[in-house]
Amino acid sequence: MQVHIRPLDAGDERDVEASFQINAAAQAHDVPDFPPWSRTDHVGRLRHPWPGTTSNSWLAVDGGGDPLGLLTVDLPNLDNTHLAIVELIVPPEHRRRGVGKALYSAATDFARANGRTVLLLSTLAHEPDLRHLNTWNATENDYMIAINEAIGFRAIDRWVSWQHEI
């Protein structure tokens, strides 16, 4: 599959809708018990980043221009200026085809070009020029845990959430 990465235009309704659908499909699959983001929330996040942060988004598209994935990189400008905060989303029907890898490569290149040395993200890969990489993987996500271990990551902390059914 051929994957192209292009900037997302938050003023273009087609791009906004594509990014919303990507996010909705991934969320429905990955965290079905969570309440879904509304379109209004999604648009607000795209068009109005947190104060003191520059936000940049890209779409991964196939050769015909159909959307495959979404990447957002937030760059804090006031403090923590060594960080690039990455949100990388690939809907289930496009996973394991190189889309995430292409988006991760774009995020890494963008972070380096902006002088960032630490990525905070929810996916992973190994980049020797970056000093740190934090990943968050659910303890039951055996596929991602195996990838982490295969490229040399080791668990240094585990978080547990508790639930009480009443």
Write out pLDDT tens, residues 8-33: 999 999 999 999 999 999 888 877 88
Distances (CA, A) of 150 to 41, 136, 147, 161: 37, 16, 5, 26
Domains in the chain, start-ordered, CATH in brackets? 4-150 (3.40.630.30)
CA torsion angle 16 48 45 99 (round to 10) = 60
Alpha helices (runs of H) in the chain, residue ranges in sequence order:
13-30, 39-47, 99-113, 142-150
Q: What is the three-class DSSP state of 100? A: helix
Q: Write down the pTM of the prediction.
A: 0.76
* pLDDT of 90 strictly over 50: yes
Measuring CA to CA, which residue among 1, 42, 8 is closest to residue 110?
Answer: 8
| pLDDT of res. 63 | 94
